[in-house]
Chains A and B, each alone.
Chain A
Amino acid sequence: MLEPVNISIQSLNLVTLAPMLIAIVGALSIIVIDLVKGGLDKSLYVMLTVLFLFLDLGAIFNFIETVSANGTLLGFFDVILIDGLAILSQLIIVGASIIFIPLSLTSKRFHEYNYPEYYALFLFMIAGFQFMVASDNLILIFVGLETASLALYALIAMHNREKSFEAAVKYFTMGALAAGFYSFSSMVFYALTGSIEINQIAAVLAADGYANIGYVLVAVIFMLASLGFKLSLVPFHTWTPDVYEGSSAALAGYMSIVPKIAAFVVAMRLFEFLIHSGVVWLEIVLYAAVVLTMTAANIWALVQKDVKRMLAYSSISHAGFAMAAILIGTTQSNSALFLYWILFVFTNLGAFTMLWVSRQKTLLPGQSSDHPYEKFAGMVKTMPLAATMMALFMLSLAGIPPFGIFWGKLYLIGSAVSAEYPMLALIMALNSAIAGYYYLKLIIYMFMKEPIDNASSSSYMLNASLPLKTIIGLAALATIFSVAMVNPLMEFITAMVYNSGY
């Protein structure tokens, strides 16, 4: 006869679920509000979403003190794991969402923003990402990943253009493949170790001295492929430019940041112990992926004719950069990853918002995409301030000091140097030099070419509204004065990462 299961509510530690629950409750209440009274304006939903996200943020802040004192916090049958990594990445996820969702307050009407479901899906997606980073249980990570991805596919398709459907289906197919890889890899890990907790897997593998190295290799390769799809590592990146092109610029910018930081945290949890296991080929596989991602994406970006596609390739290359931090695997490099990503949030936010405000409803005559380089020709003559902003974000992406991403790059290359990876440091530096060219290309179009005939000064700001302009201003300020926030951020991040044992 089975023993009756007795679980005290106390031991569940339900508070660890609070951040995700807030997002889910938010999503549900938006749907309920729509049921009670339809036809409400999008501004209401946007503001509600922002409010719930602020509550979410507050719940995460709550953990900081406990975690800095005790290290980690377990909850809900010990599948939820709140440590420094979880806190940092949730702060980035929720923070970035707060500044991205007001991008739907455009002056032009886009039909997806009038559906309350859009905001509900958005909040479900955030909850999914939060589950993904706040666990070291392979199954819960998988559930979070799929929740978030399914919501994201729908969000892309809601843009309701032919290219958006193509993008959503493409992303969905690739995502399904990645999910298959993920579950296969988890299965192998489970078969090898009898556990689905990452720290248990690490302990068992270490205990038997990586005896079944062949199987571990299979599991790692499949895991790398699956996360590679989410992180858009070469050669699993093929969907990225098409999906970015098909989605609205706002969502593309969002996709270049939030899903990736969630995947980085999973990668960090999984690969870190493997790299430190002393098995050389694990390192070689990752090394190859990192170098290939940085370099190949940069070279493809050189030949793009559309700014959004260029930014898509550039975000692949930046992902390669951040992946290098995981390869290096020291506390310094893992902290550098978070610093890099926070600075990247502001700059990329600015760049994609600039594209978003210049979005026209129909394509200009003679253009095959929304944002060809030619569209920006001579922008400095018609809209000097907007052109300067755009140039600022490009310079930051190129890593010109003293703008945002430079400090991330500095710290990341610095961590490569201090972990005795001189070749990697050099490759990263040379890649920054290659990347300089395509960011420069846009600046050259804006500042040194003559305007095209049919562009009136307003065509760059068609979509701009006060909230959007505020966001651009915020991003620009954060990019210019980033040097002031690097030190406090660095101290906080390092403490958090160190506390989690990475």
Chain B
Amino acid sequence: MLDNILTILIFFPALAAMLGFVVEKGSIRAFGVSVATVEFVLSLALWYAYDPSVVGMQFMESMPLIPAFGINYLLGIDAISLFIIVLATFITLIGIATLGEVKNIKNMIITLLFLEMTMIGVFSALDAIVFYVFWELSLVPMLYLIGAWGGPKRIYASIKFFLYTFTGSLIMLVGMLFMAYFYYQATGAWSFSILEWYRLVLPENLQLWLFVAFFMGFAIKVPMFPFHTWLPYAHGQAPTIGSVILAAILLKMGTYAFVRFSLPMFPDAAVFFMIPIAIIAIIMIIYTAMVAYAQEDIKQVVAYSSVSHMGVIILGTFALNVEGITGSVFLMIAHGVVSGALFFLVGVIYDRRHTKMMSEFGGLAHVMPRYATIFGVMMMASVGLPLTINFIGEFLSLLGFYKQSHILTLLAGTAIIVGAIYMLTAYKKAFFGEVTNEKNKNLPDVNKREMFALIPLVIITIWLGIYPKPVLEPINNSVEAIVSLMNEKAITQEAKNRIPDPMAAKVSTPHGGTH
């Protein structure tokens, strides 16, 4: 069974979603929770069966789809995708389990299950076209989530979300076709297999063009400055569950794709664009932090802070060394947990008051102590307090980039610290002081259902903050494989210098010990 576990993981929720049409409306919630639980257990089984000592892809599956054009149904995962898949099934589970009272709940659960299929598909595809299919398909359920259950400007927000990402990914598609064509020129056969593309060494000028084409698709998805404008709209209008999944998983598609495609396929271009991208990333960190500070809507604060942290992930990815990339992959997981939790928390207060304006709140700590505590923990994690999950990721990302440029890292580090101000200010405005608003006097505290979602997130935040090894080590191994591939493939001397070979470092360490 484990031979086909990835196919099962992808299509089980889709099948369940189709059967869900038959399930009676009152029972659909139980149906959704059971399906999501089975899916989560399956993903845990995947983690259990995953062998961290093996370098390269595991659980590979292959089936010809359009052999005449080199398209195969090719799946496989390494540690980088493994943990994002586990995160995706986990967030979907608690998302469905804690759905509040929404209209048309049946349609929503069916949509969420379809969305789960596309997410797992993206992270386990090893064929570019299969990847692209799931990548594009994920837009449709998300469009429906925002457009049907969103706020007053939901239609504008959903179209903006769709068109931005759609445009970017079409440019990426042209890039993929060129890549396949260059592969055809080199070998005489069409192929869209990412693993075969890894073996293709391209001249630097082609790398630059292709890097830009892929970059358009990924950067809009992340979203990187200046393509980030769709995200605050989408978050602002989306229902809680939509924001949670968008922030926790969908945005990771972009950063994941950088690690999976851009770095190993175009190492020289990655070095060439390293500094410009790092500058964009730092602008992202500083600028969005400043915008977040000016927001009056608490959800927008969380949304902008989420963009700000995506900047750190990008910075870590483009450190191009093992520490940086490992840190950024770990930070993807951490960001998924923490910003997912923050959006849940905003949803909790929105369910009670139907407003997200900070001016409406104040002194909530008196009325809702448990809520204030959990919010506090998550906020601390978000600003990167040591012993929380975010700290490890941010620290490693910055450490990795420190080896490339001291000044830029210093700037980014300062920005992160300064960025803490807006979170703390927001927290102070909402939770401390006197209860000024009459309506807030009798708000009920977090209930059991919400606890079910939040407690596991808090546990993960602190557990992985103190003991990250079970996740960090497998990621580290997979990242080493990618970095050594990059080092091997790099053509220019500068790229060779910028991308240190992790294997060489390993070999030389015992020598260093003997001296």
**Is there contact, CB below 8 Å, between A433 and B181?**
no
Which A residue sits closest to B168, measured CB to CB?
A433
B66–A490 CB distance below 8 A: yes
- Using an 8 Å CB-CB cutoff, how does the interface string of A381-407 with B read, 1 for contact, 0 for none? 000000000000001000011100011
Given A401-B137, A413-B174, A426-B174: A490 touches B69 (CB 8 Å cut-off) = yes
The CA-CA distance from A401 to B172 in the complex, in Å, is: 14
**Residue B167 CB within 8 A of the other chain:** yes
Select B147's contact among A406, A410, A444, beta carbons within 8 Å: A444
Q: Is B195 at the interface (CB under 8 A from chain A)? A: no
Q: Which of A32-40, A164-172, A257-265, A414-422 lies at the interface? A: A414-422
**Which B125-163 residues sit within 8 Å CB-CB of chain A?**
129, 132-133, 136-137, 139-140, 143-144, 147-148, 154-155, 158-159, 162-163
- B137 proximity list for chain A (CB < 8 A): 400-402
Query: Is there a chain B Cβ closer than 8 Å to A425's Cβ?
Result: yes
Main secondary structure of the interface of A (DSSP, over half): helix
Whether A417 contacts B174 by the Cβ 8 Å rule is yes
A74 interface hit (Cβ, 8 Å): no
B85 at the A/B interface (Cβ < 8 Å)?
no
> Within the complex, which residue of A395, A422, A430 is in contact with B140, where a contact is CB–CB below 8 Å?
A395
Residues A413 and B173 in contact in the complex (CB < 8 Å), given A402-B137, A447-B147: yes
Interface residues of A, Cβ cutoff 8 Å to B = 380, 395, 400-402, 406-407, 410-411, 413-414, 417-418, 422, 425-426, 429-430, 432-433, 436-437, 440, 443-444, 447-449, 483, 486-487, 490-491, 494
A-B CB proximity, top 7 nearest = A401-B133, A433-B167, A429-B170, A448-B147, A417-B177, A487-B66, A414-B177
Query: A449 contacts which chain B residues (CB < 8 A)?
Result: 155
In the complex, which residues of chain A have a beta carbon less than 8 angstroms from the beta carbon of B147? 444, 447-448
In whole angstroms, how far apart are the Cα atoms of A380 and B148 in the complex? Answer: 11
Residue numbers in A under 8 Å from B143 (CB-CB): 440, 443
B452 at the interface (CB under 8 A from A): no
> Which residue of chain A is the closest to B213 with respect to CB atoms?
A426
B148 and A448 within 8 A (CB): yes
Give every chain A residue within 8 A of B166 (Cβ-Cβ). Answer: 433, 436
Query: Are A400 and B181 touching (Cβ within 8 A)?
Result: no
B162: nearest chain-A partner, CB-CB:
A440
Q: Which residues of A contact B139 (CB under 8 A)?
A: 400
| Contact for A426 among B64, B67, B132, B171, CB less than 8 A | B171
Whether the Cβ atoms of B173 and A411 lie closer than 8 Å is no
B162 adjacent to A413 (CB under 8 Å): no
Q: Which residues from chain B contact A443 at a C-beta distance below 8 Å?
A: 143
Say yes or no: A433-B163 contact (C-beta < 8 A), given A444-B158, A447-B148, A448-B155.
yes
Q: A413-B174, A430-B167, A491-B68 are in contact. List 19 more A-B contacts (CB 8 A).
A: A380-B107, A395-B140, A401-B136, A406-B133, A407-B66, A410-B69, A411-B69, A414-B69, A414-B180, A417-B177, A422-B178, A430-B171, A436-B167, A437-B159, A437-B163, A444-B147, A444-B158, A448-B158, A490-B68
Other-chain residue from B67, B155, B163, B177 in contact with A425 (beta carbon distance below 8 A): B177
**Partner among B136, B140, B154, B181 whose Cβ is within 8 Å of the Cβ of A417:** B181
> Which residue in chain B gives the minimum CB-CB distance to A388?
B21
Q: How far is the CB of B183 from chain A (nearest CB, A)?
A: 11
B155 lies within 8 A of A413 (CB)? no
Interface residues as binary, B88-128 with A (CB distance below 8 Å gives 1, 0 otherwise): 00000000000000000001000000000000000000000
Q: Is B184 an interface residue (CB 8 A)?
A: yes
Q: How many angstroms from the CA of A411 to the CA of B177 in the assembled complex? A: 9
What is the distance, in angstroms, from B308's C-beta to the closest C-beta of chain A?
28
A-B contact pairs, 20 of them (CB 8 A): A395-B140, A401-B129, A401-B133, A401-B136, A401-B137, A402-B137, A413-B177, A417-B174, A417-B178, A418-B181, A422-B178, A426-B174, A429-B174, A430-B170, A433-B166, A444-B155, A448-B158, A490-B66, A490-B68, A491-B68
CB distance from A420 to the nearest CB of B (A): 9
Closest to A437 in B: B163
**A483 with B174: CB separation less than 8 A:** no
Complex CA gap A432/B162 in Å reads 13
* B455: Cβ under 8 A from any A Cβ: no
The docked-state distance in angstroms from the alpha carbon of A128 to that of B167 is 41
**Main secondary structure on B side of the interface with A:** helix
| Chain A residues with CB below 8 A from B154, complex form | 448
Determine the chain B residues whose CB is within 8 A of the CB of A411 once the complex forms.
69
Instruction: Report the minimum CB–CB distance from A55 to chain B (whole Å).
Output: 32
Q: Contacts of A413 on B, CB cut-off 8 Å?
A: 173-174, 177
Q: Is A436 a contact of B162 with CB atoms below 8 Å? A: yes
Beta-carbon contact of B136 and A494 below 8 Å:
no
Count of inter-chain pairs, beta carbons less than 8 A = 91
Assuming the contacts A401-B133, A487-B66, A494-B68, asked whether A429 and B171 have C-beta atoms less than 8 A apart, the reply is yes
Q: A400-B140, A417-B177, A425-B174 are in contact. Are A436 and B65 (CB under 8 A)?
A: no
Given A444-B147, A483-B66, A487-B68, residue A418 in contact with residue B140 (CB < 8 A):
no
Contact residues in B for A486 (Cβ distance below 8 Å): 66
Cα–Cα distance between A432 and B174 once the two chains are bound (Å)? 12
Smallest CB separation, A438 vs chain B (Å): 11
Which residue on chain B has the smallest CB distance to residue A416?
A: B177
Collect the chain A residues with CB atoms within 8 Å of residue B136's CB.
400-401
Instruction: Please tell me if the beta carbons of A410 and B173 are within 8 angstroms of each other in the complex.
Output: yes
Residue of B nearest to A381 (CB): B104
> In the assembled complex, how far is the CB of residue A418 from the closest CB belonging to chain B, in whole angstroms?
5
Q: B176-210 CB contact bits vs A (8 Å, 1 = yes)? A: 01101100100000000000000000000000000
Taking the closest CB of chain B, its distance from the CB of A428, in whole angstroms, is: 8
Q: How far is the CA of A320 from the CA of B293 in the complex (A)?
A: 49
- Cβ of B466 to closest chain A Cβ, rounded Å: 43
Tell whether A436 pairs with B163 under 8 Å between CB atoms, given A395-B140, A448-B148: yes
Q: What chain B residues lie within 8 Å of A406 (beta carbons)? A: 133
Q: Are A401 and B171 in contact (CB under 8 A)?
A: no
B residues in contact with A414, CB < 8 Å: 69, 177, 180-181
Q: Which residues of A contact B129 (CB under 8 A)?
A: 401, 410
Closest residue on chain B to residue A413 by CB atoms: B177
Contacts of A407 in B (CB 8 A): 66
B134 nearest in chain A by CB position = A401
Give the distance in Å from the alpha carbon of A414 to the alpha carbon of B154 in the complex: 36
Cβ distance A143 to chain B, nearest Cβ, rounded Å? 37
Chain A residue numbers with a CB within 8 Å of B140 are 395, 400
Nearest CB on A from B433, distance (A): 40
Chain A, Cβ-Cβ closest to B178: A417
A401 to B127, CA, bound (A): 14
Q: State the CA gap A395–B140 with chains docked (Å).
A: 9
With both chains docked as a complex, state the minimum distance between the C-beta of B250 and any C-beta of chain A, in angstroms.
Answer: 16
CA–CA, A98 and B133, complex, Å: 32
Alpha-carbon distance A407/B140, docked complex (angstroms): 18
Q: How far is the CA of A169 from the CA of B69 in the complex (A)?
A: 46
| Chain A hits for B107, CB < 8 A | 380
The reply to whether B173 and A483 form a contact with Cβ atoms under 8 Å apart is no
Of A380, A407, A433, A491, the most chain B CB neighbours within 10 A belong to A433
Q: How far is the CA of A366 from the CA of B171 in the complex (A)?
A: 42
Q: From residue A424, how far is it (CB to closest CB) to chain B in Å?
A: 10
By a CB distance below 8 angstroms, the chain B residues around A402 are 133, 137
The chain B residue sitting closest to A409, CB to CB, is B173
Cβ-defined partner of B65 (8 Å) among A380, A422, A433, A483: A483
A486 smallest CB distance to B (angstroms)? 5
In the assembled complex, how far is the CB of residue B90 from the closest CB belonging to chain A, in whole angstroms? 27
With both beta carbons as reference points, the residue of chain B lying nearest to A400 in the complex is identified as B136
Shortest Cβ distance from B139 into A: residue: A400
Q: Please name all residues of chain A whose beta carbon is closer than 8 Å to the beta carbon of B177 when the two chains form the complex.
A: 410, 413-414, 417, 425
Q: How distant is the Cα of A440 from the Cα of B167 in the complex, in angstroms?
A: 13
Counting chain A CB atoms within 10 Å of each CB, the highest count among B136, B154, B184 belongs to B136
Alpha-carbon gap, A428 to B178, bound state (A): 14
The docked-state distance in angstroms from the alpha carbon of A380 to that of B107 is 10
Closest to B65 in A: A483
The complex places the Cα of A425 from the Cα of B66 at a distance, in Å, of: 21
Contact with A along B282-316 (1 / 0, CB 8 A): 00000000000000000000000000000000000
Contact of A432 with B170 in the complex, beta carbons under 8 Å: yes
A417 to B129, CA, bound (A): 16
